[in-house]
Amino acid sequence: MIDGLLLLGSGIGAGLFGSLLGLGGGILIVPLLTLAFGLPLLEAVGVSLICVIVTSGAASGVYLERRVANLRLGMTLELFTAIGAMAGGLIAFLLDARVIELIFTGLLVYVAVTMARRRDAAPNAPTPGPAAPDPPIAGTSVADPRPGAIRSFLDRMSGPDYRIRRFGFGIVGSLIAGVASALLGIGGGLVKVPVMHVVMGVPLRVATATSNLMIGITASASAIIYLLRGGIDPYAAAPTAIGVFIGASIGSRIASRIDLRLLRGLFVAILLYTAWQMLQRAIA
Partner 1 sequence: MTASNPGGLSTSATGAGSPMSSPEQASRSLERTIARLLTIGTYLSIALLVVGVVLMAVSGIGPLSGGPAFDPATLVADLAALRPAAFVWLGLIVVIATPSARVAVSGLGYARRGERAMTIVAGLILFVIALSVAVARGLES
CB-nearer residue toward partner 1: 194 or 279? 194
- CA angle (226, 228, 234) in 5-degree steps: 70
Least spacing, CB of residue 192 vs partner 1, in Å: 13
CB 52 within 8 A of CB 25: yes
Q: How far is the CB of 214 from partner 1 (least distance, A)?
A: 9
Cα–Cα distance list, 194 to 169, 204, 248 (Å):
11, 8, 22
The window from 33-41, 97-105, 112-120, 276-284 that contacts partner 1 (CB under 8 A) reads 33-41
When the beta carbons of 140 and 152 are compared against partner 1, the nearer one is 152
* Binding footprint of partner 1, residue count (CB under 8 A): 94
Selected binder of partner 1 within 71, 116, 172, 260 (CB under 8 A) = 71
User: What would the DSSP string read from start to end of the chain?
Assistant: -HHHHHHHHHHHHHHHHHHHHT--THHHHHHIIIIIT---HHHHHHHHHHHHHHHHHHHHHHHHHTT-S-HHHHHHHHHHHHHHHHHHHHHHTTS-HHHHHHHHHHHHHHHHHHHHHHHHS-TTPPPP-PPPPPPP-TTHHHH--S-HHHHHHHHHHSBTTB----HHHHHHHHHHHHHHHHHHT---HHHHHHIIIIIT---HHHHHHHHHHHHHHHHHHHHHHHHHTT---HHHHHHHHHHHHHHHHHHHHHGGGS-HHHHHHHHHHHHHHHHHHHHHHHH-
The single residue among 35, 83, 263, 272 that binds partner 1, judged by CB under 8 A, is 83
Q: Is 55 in the site for partner 1 (CB under 8 A)?
A: yes
Q: Which is nearer to partner 1, 200 or 217 (CB)?
A: 217
Q: How far is the CB of 136 from partner 1 (least distance, A)?
A: 22
The interface with partner 1 within residues 225-244 (CB under 8 A) comprises 225, 227-230, 232-239, 241-242
Instruction: Please give the residues from 84 up to 143 whose contact with partner 1 meets the rule CB under 8 A.
Output: 85-86, 89-90, 93
By the rule CB under 8 A, 177 interacts with partner 1 = no
Q: Which of 34, 48, 70, 274 binds partner 1 (CB under 8 A)?
A: 70
Among 65, 123, 139, 148, contact with partner 1 (rule: CB under 8 A):
65
Q: How far is it, in rounded angstroms, from Cα 56 to Cα 60?
A: 6
Amino acid at 196: M
Report 180-209 residues binding partner 1 (CB under 8 A). Answer: 187, 189, 203-206, 208-209
| Binding range to partner 1, per CB under 8 A, among 45-53, 101-109, 111-119, 129-137 | 45-53
**Is residue 50 within the footprint of partner 1 (CB under 8 A)?**
yes
CB neighbours (10 Å) of residue 40? 13
- Does 36 participate in binding partner 1 (rule CB under 8 A)? no
Considering only 136, 147, 148, 160, the residue that binds partner 1 (CB under 8 A) is: 160
Residue from 48, 105, 174, 222 that binds partner 1 (CB under 8 A)? 222
Identity of the residue, 99 or 227, whose beta carbon is nearer to partner 1 in the bound complex: 227
